[in-house]
């Protein structure tokens, strides 16, 4: 079943990390005002794409931590986000180079924040993604499984990826619009 | 006892999961997949041939049929893919990646240089720090954090994004070229016959187009800080 399970302390859902590549260099060259424009563009576009039940968990400086109740919804939404970033970058010539990593698992509430091993995995997955990419774990794809064909996506295996701090390799996939 | 070879019909898909140490994959005229002694070779239920080096192995060599698809993940160490291979996917947290000859490639390193001699089709490269060098590719999509990018020949389209570092790219003029850097110079070379439609923009630096312009192919070059040169061979 592709639906989140929620109780008082522990959530089950999809976690996404977004990250603006080269934000530090951009700020150094263009200054704080343009850096704020870049951040606000990311924030506005992400919030404009979020489906019901999903939320921005926290602001990470040049990235965002997002939570989604459904795997297929998370996948579809992050692809739409990338299209929105691309359109914004073309219209404004701002280098809105955003990478997105996505993983399905359990998360533990800590106030409004979410923590846990599966949150850490999602953060590492974002490190593997390049600008304009959505990279997801095998767990996310399995969870989205029955609904994935309706999303009209291409899925390309990147391989078993050994990531910092994680004992076992994780199979990652690059997802694009078909 | 050496591992049993795995055989099948058509070029197989070989997946290598290593933690550290160098991995060499050789595509050659043979029908089976074999690995050096200190690795297990098993055909998985999905038809993929899995190669798993034993813990503590310093280097593993895998021999497979020409045209095999190869997927490799490792934490550190040199990855070397030799001989004609099919679709190649290789990633490492820290280490170099070298590809001699592949049908297509997706190569990712958090830290380490990447070299591609020949990639007939799409060549996607992502590295946070390290040099990237492509001698010949059908198309390229390269993302670089910090380091230099050098592409000697790209047949069709090229997209390069570099946060910090210079980009040198020679195109054959048969597809759109888009190169962006935050900080770093850009040099794009097109064939003598090609009259590119150039859009070049630099905030601090100089943009020079040293060839006749036209509509043969599109060249977009943007940098926040650095020089831009578009010229013909």
Contact A22 B182 (CB under 8 A): yes
The pLDDT, as a whole number, for residue A86 is: 95
> Does residue A163 form part of some domain?
yes
pLDDT in tens, B43-56: 988 889 999 988 87
> Does residue A99 form part of some domain?
yes
- Tell me the average pLDDT across B141-157: 96
Give me the DSSP letters along A10-26: EEEEEEEEEEETTHHHH
pLDDT in tens, B10-31: 789 999 998 888 999 999 999 9
Contact B182 A164 (CB under 8 A): no
pLDDT in tens, B197-215: 999 999 888 999 999 999 9
> Does residue A3 form part of some domain?
no
Q: Is the pLDDT of residue A172 over 80?
A: yes
> Does residue A4 form part of some domain?
no
Task: Compare CB distances from A29 to B90, B93, B182 and report the shortest one's residue.
Answer: B182
Domain extent at residue A117: 10-177
Q: Is the pLDDT of residue B2 over 80?
A: no
- Count structural domains, chain A: 1
Q: Which residue has the tokens 């923590």?
A: A115
The beta-strand segments (E) located in B18-166 are 22-28, 32-35, 39-43, 49-53, 59-65, 69-76, 79-94, 97-111, 114-129, 132-134, 137-146, 149-154, 158-164
User: What is the pLDDT confidence band of residue A93, given thresholds at 50, 70 and 90?
Assistant: confident
Both tokens of A4, joined, read 């989140």
> Does residue A1 form part of some domain?
no
> Does residue A78 form part of some domain?
yes
Instruction: State the CATH number of the domain containing residue A100.
Output: 3.30.70.1230
The reply to whether A25 touches chain B by the CB within 8 Å rule is: yes
Task: Compare CB distances from B19 to A97, A128, A162 and report the shortest one's residue.
Answer: A162
pLDDT in tens, B150-194: 999 999 999 999 999 999 999 999 999 999 999 999 999 999 999
Contact B89 A159 (CB under 8 A): yes
User: Helix, strand, or coil here: B19?
Assistant: coil
**Could you state, in order of their start, the residue ranges of all structural domains in chain B?**
7-112, 140-233
> Does residue A5 form part of some domain?
no
The pLDDT, as a whole number, for residue B1 is: 40
Task: Compare CB distances from B183 to A25, A164, A169 and report the shortest one's residue.
Answer: A25
Q: Is the pLDDT of residue B104 over 90?
A: yes
The pLDDT, as a whole number, for residue B219 is: 98
User: Helix, strand, or coil here: B183?
Assistant: strand
């Amino acid at each position: 079943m592709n639906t989140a399970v929620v109780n008082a302390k522990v959530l089950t859902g999809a976690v996404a990390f977004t990250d603006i590549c080269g934000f530090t260099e951009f700020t150094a060259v263009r200054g704080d005002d343009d850096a704020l424009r870049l951040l606000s563009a990311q924030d506005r576009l992400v919030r404009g794409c979020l489906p019901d039940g999903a939320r921005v968990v926290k602001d990470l400086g040049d990235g965002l931590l997002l939570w989604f109740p459904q795997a297929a919804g998370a996948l579809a939404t992050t692809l739409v986000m990338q299209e929105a970033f691309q359109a914004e970058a073309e219209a404004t010539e701002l280098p809105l180079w955003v990478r997105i990593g996505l993983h399905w698992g359990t998360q533990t509430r800590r106030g409004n924040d979410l923590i846990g091993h599966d949150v850490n995995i999602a953060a590492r997955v974002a490190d593997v993604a390049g600008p304009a990419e959505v990279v997801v774990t095998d767990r996310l794809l399995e969870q989205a499984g029955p609904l994935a064909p309706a999303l009209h996506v291409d899925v390309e295996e990147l391989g078993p990826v050994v990531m910092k701090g994680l004992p076992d390799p994780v199979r990652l996939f690059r997802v694009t619009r078909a | 006892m050496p591992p049993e070879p795995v055989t099948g019909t058509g070029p197989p898909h070989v997946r290598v999961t290593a933690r550290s140490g160098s991995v060499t994959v050789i595509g050659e005229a043979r029908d089976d997949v074999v690995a050096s002694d200190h690795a297990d070779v098993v055909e998985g239920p999905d038809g993929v041939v899995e190669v798993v080096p034993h813990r503590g192995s310093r280097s593993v060599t895998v021999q497979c049929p020409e045209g095999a698809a190869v997927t490799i993940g490792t934490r550190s160490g040199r990855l070397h893919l030799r001989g004609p291979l099919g679709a190649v996917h290789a990633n490492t947290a820290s280490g170099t990646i070298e590809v001699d000859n592949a049908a297509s490639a997706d190569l990712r390193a958090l830290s380490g240089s990447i070299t591609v001699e020949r990639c007939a089709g799409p060549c996607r490269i992502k590295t946070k720090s390290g040099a990237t060098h492509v001698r010949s590719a059908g198309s390229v999509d390269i993302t670089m954090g910090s380091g230099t990018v050098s592409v000697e020949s790209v047949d069709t389209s090229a997209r390069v994004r570099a946060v910090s570092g210079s980009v040198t790219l020679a195109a054959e003029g048969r597809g759109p070229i888009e190169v962006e850097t935050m900080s770093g110079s850009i040099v794009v070379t097109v064939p003598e016959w090609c009259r590119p439609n150039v859009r070049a923009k630099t905030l601090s630096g100089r943009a020079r187009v040293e060839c006749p312009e036209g509509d043969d192919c599109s060249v977009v070059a943007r940098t926040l800080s650095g020089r831009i040169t578009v010229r013909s061979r």
